[in-house]
Amino acid sequence: MTHSTVDPTDALSALGNETRVAILRELADADDTLSFSDLRDRVGIRDSGKFNYHLSELCAYFVRETESGYELGHAGTRVIDAATSRDEPVPRDDSDAVDASETCPVCGTENCEKLFHVHLSPPWG
């Protein structure tokens, strides 16, 4: 998936669902990564298929799946920060990170401050 073919409205439409927003909030409130079943229990969804669908939609843009479970990705943290108007960013455990700074997965900039990136192709190419 290249940035020039990604429609930013796809990422934004993933946020237009109460279950998905609840998933992001639970991940933001968690002290560590959450397993699928723990996250599903916290959100309160009984149907694991339905929950998996919503989580998968978020994993495309806002949530990272790790060996130990699920956590907010860079963009997910930004969305929660913006949506909750927090004075301080969502606390993150970077103890497993190679570097204490975080590289933006979209633009590659270290500690990028952009909430959303829009990549447009020039009309001539």
Query: Cα separation of 87 and 34, whole Å?
Result: 25
What is the pLDDT at residue 102? 67
Give the count of alpha carbons within 13 A of 41, CB side only: 6
Q: Is the pTM of this model over 0.75?
A: no
Other CB atoms closer than 10 Å to residue 13's CB: what's the count? 13
Which tens digit of pLDDT belongs to each residue from 58-101? 998 999 999 999 999 988 888 888 877 645 555 555 444 434 45
Confidence of residue 5 (pLDDT cuts 50, 70, 90): low
